């Protein structure tokens, strides 16, 4: 039985990676930080493994103890007002994991790094209107910049058998940020941002973890994959699918970017005062106002033989059912 260490295993995507790895008959070591809430992992047959990402010696000892064949480094930070904190978690923790791999006595088959489309930014800045591995990265947030710095580091480690997966917007059971869209539509409010048309991409979390497992097991190395379902959507497609799944017709309101900026500014200031950084903040507006998030997914087909198992409507319906069962939606 192959062993896999999954970092950030108790998070939204991490839980789904754990479930997918178990379905592939891996022996799973669920990596979490001490003090983390691991209730979401208790119903899985996994070994909870506490990781100190600041301590390379400690990480090395963990690797020597469990001897994983694969490491899926999913742990990361998505929101903070401090760019240095982004770098510390999203770049430096990866560096420490790689240092520990080298210092340990393990023979690693693959290190899979979960990055983000945000590392390359929207296709607005690409002359051909699509983001690909040949594109010049243009991240528009500090989160994206920190992920790009992590990727730059990893690409220099040619002795490490790594692959990179860059998810676009991820939704699914347990997701909390895009859940706000579901919640507003449940209240029959369809808030549309800006007046220009948009090209959006999405990936359902169950399809995403399929990509992650395939990218971990593939014989291909030193490859990076943009993770999307292969379709490009208008700004109306996602809310329309949610309304259909809810069986509700929402009232559409078009909000100018200027108003979104004001709301984000106020939201961020409140978050800084309360110590709870919000979903909507000033930098996030750069992502929201982008008109094109198209990305090249051809390598998913060629290298990984990937095809999304869920249509957008199927994925949205599955997500709504989970939200209702867990009483996130009434």
- pTM more than 0.85: yes
Angle, CA of 152, 77 and 289, to the nearest 5° = 85
Q: What are phi and psi of 253, to 5 degrees?
A: -130, 125
What is each CA distance from 3 to 40, 48, 61, 159, 223, in whole angstroms?
21, 13, 16, 21, 22
Q: Residues with Cβ < 8 Å from 41, sequence gap 6 or more?
A: 9, 10, 15, 18, 30, 32, 48
**Alpha-helix runs per DSSP H in 275-297:** 284-288
CA torsion angle 328 207 130 287 (round to 10): 20
pLDDT at 279: 84
Q: Which of 283, 159, 172, 169 is nearest to 226 (CA)?
A: 169
Enter the CATH code of domain 3-171+202-229+293-309: 3.40.50.720
Q: Which of 17, 230, 220 is nearest to 114 (CA)?
A: 17
The dihedral through the CA atoms of 187, 320, 144, 34 has a sign that is positive
pLDDT at 20: 97
**Alpha-helix runs per DSSP H in the chain:** 12-23, 56-66, 83-86, 93-103, 142-155, 179-186, 205-217, 237-246, 257-274, 284-288, 298-304, 312-325
**Cβ(283)–Cβ(270) under 8 Å?**
no
Burial of residue 124, with CB atoms counted within 10 A of its CB: 0-12 exposed, 13-18 middle, 19 or more buried: middle
Q: Which of 153, 160, 164 is nearest to 300 (CA)?
A: 164
Q: Consecutive 10-residue runs of the chain (330 residues): their mean pLDDT? A: 96 97 97 93 95 97 98 96 96 98 96 98 96 97 98 97 98 96 95 82 98 98 98 95 96 88 91 85 88 97 97 98 96
Rounded to whole angstroms, how far apart are CA atoms 294 and 304? 20
Rounded to whole angstroms, how far apart are CA atoms 80 and 271? 10
pLDDT at 195: 62
Q: Residues with Cβ < 8 Å from 285, sequence gap 6 or more?
A: 257, 260, 261, 264
pLDDT at 86: 97
């Amino acid at each position: 039985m192959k062993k896999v260490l999954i970092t950030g295993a108790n998070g939204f995507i991490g839980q789904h990676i754990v479930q997918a790895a178990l379905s592939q008959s891996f022996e799973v070591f669920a990596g979490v930080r001490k003090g983390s809430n691991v209730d979401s992992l208790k119903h899985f047959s996994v070994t909870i493994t506490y990781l100190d990402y600041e301590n390379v010696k400690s990480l090395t000892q963990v690797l020597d103890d469990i001897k994983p064949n694969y490491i899926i480094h999913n742990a990361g930070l998505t929101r903070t007002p401090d760019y240095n904190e982004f770098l510390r978690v999203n770049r430096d923790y990866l560096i420490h994991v790689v240092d520990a791999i080298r210092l340990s006595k393990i023979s690693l088959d693959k290190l899979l790094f979960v990055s983000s489309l945000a590392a390359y930014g929207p296709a607005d800045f690409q002359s051909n209107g699509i983001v690909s591995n040949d594109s010049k990265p243009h991240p528009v947030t500090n989160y994206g910049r920190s992920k790009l710095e992590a990727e730059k580091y990893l690409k220099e480690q040619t002795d490490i058998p790594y692959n990179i997966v860059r998810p676009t917007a991820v939704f699914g059971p347990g997701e909390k940020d895009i859940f706000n869209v579901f919640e507003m539509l449940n209240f029959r409010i369809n808030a549309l941002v800006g007046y220009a048309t948009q090209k959006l991409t999405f990936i359902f979390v169950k399809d995403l973890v399929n990509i992650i497992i395939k990218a971990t097991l593939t014989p291909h190395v030193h490859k990076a994959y943009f993770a999307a379902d292969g379709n490009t959507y208008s700004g109306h497609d996602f809310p329309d699918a949610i309304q259909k799944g809810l069986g509700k017709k929402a009232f559409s309101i078009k909000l100018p970017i200027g108003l979104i900026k004001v709301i984000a500014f106020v939201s961020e200031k409140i978050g800084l005062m309360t110590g709870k950084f919000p979903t909507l903040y000033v930098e996030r507006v750069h992502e929201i106002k982008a008109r094109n998030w198209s990305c090249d997914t051809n390598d998913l087909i060629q290298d990984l033989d990937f095809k999304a198992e869920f249509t957008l409507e199927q994925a949205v319906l599955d997500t709504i059912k989970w939200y209702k069962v867990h009483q996130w939606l009434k």
